[in-house]
Structure 1
Amino acid sequence: MVRVDTIFENTGTATILIEEDFTISAINDGFARLMGMGPAEIEGRIKWPALIHADDLERMRRYHVNRRTNPEDAPKNYEFRLLSRTMGTREVAITIDMVPGTSQSVASLMDVTDTRRLEREVIAVGERERRRIGRDLHDDLGSHLSGVELLSKVLQKKVARCSPEASRDMETIRTLITDAIEKTRRLSLGLYPVHIVEHGLEAAMEALAAEIEDIFGLTPDLAFDPAVERLDNTAATHLYYIAREAVFNAARHGRPTTLGIAVEAGKGRFSVRIRDNGRWRDDRRTPGEQEGMGLHTMAYRARAMGATLSIDNDGGGTCVRLSGALPAGTGLHGNGRGAM
């Protein structure tokens, strides 16, 4: 215990000691400043869940129990939202582990609210640029290539009258142009999900499922609750790209024979579950820790839309879960359509 006391006294990082019954038994000055509350108000008087945002509470409780019963299922590093008396809701990165030989856990916390806000701004700028490039590919280059293909078709008919061999060469050229049109279409769809803007999130998810079937020969089982259409365009776009990255990772790396996508709503919240019977993620790190730009981006997008993202393996495969608050009301997101 002397070692723990020394850490408390000498670290500038917010640090707390948590008992098995969730009671916060000790805090240092850094945590007191973060919370705007002194030791006399917290130590032995407040339980840890009282300071956690409701959307993160179930996950944090599960980690707390698993840390003492099944440590492999409790990450040591992750993020959540803390309720500060003076600063409101703060986004916090936590490092937590058990105190050897005790039922206590010791946690150090770092306020990353400003960093995450900057990340969201960077993502928003990148999103606008993606959309611009995607629109240019779809509306400009795609249309240009279609025009070239049409002209080559006319030219092929003219050439066929005098040179069958040249006509066959023209057919090869037309095939290459058609391939280029299809590649441009897929690239523009990856950059700019036109289905979301024009037809809604459900249409975009259906198009994604069709794309997976077309590319990998795997038919996803898609279930979509229309209530999730209440998400605005920004949140819907984040959800779409998280799902897109997850299903492509599953199909490309996990080699599954089944793939399910469930987008559901209930009690003012939405949830997305993407489950496959492959295994494309082999450790228990949180998504933000996993190597690879795609999974890092998934974690950033989840934070940007105020949602929680987890990726878990079990005996039957891999499951990606995304959950967050659903806006009140019945209007659909920014596409001009009425309530369903």
Structure 2
Amino acid sequence: TNGCTKYIGTLHDITDWKQLQTQLVEAIEMEQRRIGHDLHDGLCQHLTFIEFRLHALREKLADERKAESAELAKLIRQAIEQTRTLARGLSPVVLAADGLMHALQELAARTEQTLHVSCTFRCPASVLIHNNIVATHLYRIAQEAVHNAIRHGQPKRIEIELRQAEGRALVGVRDDGIGFTPPPSGHRGMGLRIMHYRAALVSGTLAVQREAAGGTSVVCSLVTDGGPAAG
């Protein structure tokens, strides 16, 4: 009216909502870690005890029953290995500042062993992440990037890198596959959305791009010089 343009708007403080999201994800990670420890320290130890008792019992069995007991021992050993795999999946990063380095090294070795793709881990110098929640998010980002590369990129080689420079920690996954051009934010797949979400939770950035020489690179970077995310 009277030649004046008026605007009506509302403001919402989403700080509490973001804090609630962060606390919820942290609670889920902590519960997964607890279950992982229970599997390793409880069920896995119990199965190992059964395996030990079975080996002792075999010495008292007649020869015709020893083959059957050997098959049972094999099944128990498989159950132990499956339990350990589940425990590692639920709690991949140990509660130590160097836990992320060891977890990424194991991720590379396990990828190469089980998926038959050359996968290496490079860490020029020690990178210590004291906050286990942050370290776990970085691990999950790398894990998803590796799985995406294998599912969509048809790579022959994958490199996982962890390094620190100028007060920032960087976790990168690069492959030599067919390459992947990231879609706009509104059209991202679930895996890519989760990686961006995890990066935001630790106040980091995530860059996904097709490499000029072929393949795809995924790099997550965050401040580690005393910022709140570093712990």
Q: Is the 8 A contact 1:279 1:313 kept in 2?
A: no
2:53 aligned with 1:147, yes or no?
A: no
Q: Is the 8 A contact 2:98 2:127 kept in 1?
A: no
Which residue matches 2:73?
A: 174
Q: Deviations over 1:172-222 (max 9, x none)?
A: 221111111111111111111254538532122212212112211223221
Q: For 2:8 and 2:176, how far apart are their aligned partners in 1? A: 45
Aligned with 2:127: secondary structure? helix
2:217 aligned with 1:319, yes or no?
A: yes
- Tell me the C-alpha RMSD between the 2 structures: 3.0
Aligned with 1:197: secondary structure? coil
**Matched residue type, 2:63:** S
Q: Is the 8 A contact 2:108 2:121 kept in 1?
A: yes
Q: Is the 8 A contact 2:39 2:83 kept in 1?
A: yes
Output aligned runs, 1:110-125, within 5 Å: 112-125=14-27
Which residue matches 1:200?
A: 99
TM-score normalised over the length of structure 2: 0.82
Which residue matches 1:219?
A: 118
Structure 1 residues 187, 285: closer, same or farther in 2, change over 3 A? Answer: farther
**Matched residue type, 2:100:** L
Q: Deviations over 1:223-263 (max 9, x none)?
A: 11445314422211211121122223323553321001111
Which residue matches 1:241?
A: 140
Which residue matches 1:298?
A: 195
Q: Is the 8 A contact 1:209 1:220 kept in 2?
A: yes
Larger proportion of strand: 1
2:169 aligned with 1:270, yes or no?
A: yes
Unmatched 5+ stretches in structure 2: none
Q: For 1:119 and 1:201, how far apart are their aligned partners in 2? A: 23
Aligned with 1:229: secondary structure? coil
Structure 1 residues 318, 136: closer, same or farther in 2, change over 3 A? Answer: same
Structure 1 residues 222, 113: closer, same or farther in 2, change over 3 A? Answer: same
Q: For 1:116 and 1:238, how far apart are their aligned partners in 2? A: 16
- Which segment is superposed worse, 238-247 or 312-321? 312-321
Q: For 1:256 and 1:157, how far apart are their aligned partners in 2? A: 50
Cα deviation for residue 111 of structure 1 reads 7.0
Larger radius of gyration: 1
Number of residue-to-residue matches in the alignment: 224
Structure 1 residues 267, 10: closer, same or farther in 2, change over 3 A? Answer: same
Q: Deviations over 1:25-84 (max 9, x none)?
A: xxxxx7xxx7xxxxxxxxxxxxxxxxxxxxxxxxxxxxxxxxxxxxxxxxxxxxxxxxxx
Structure 1 residues 313, 114: closer, same or farther in 2, change over 3 A? Answer: farther
Q: For 1:234 and 1:318, how far apart are their aligned partners in 2? A: 26
TM-score normalised over the length of structure 1: 0.58
Q: Is the 8 A contact 1:220 1:258 kept in 2?
A: yes
Q: Is the 8 A contact 2:207 2:219 kept in 1?
A: yes
Q: For 1:126 and 1:280, how far apart are their aligned partners in 2? A: 33
Q: For 2:90 and 2:63, how far apart are their aligned partners in 1? A: 42
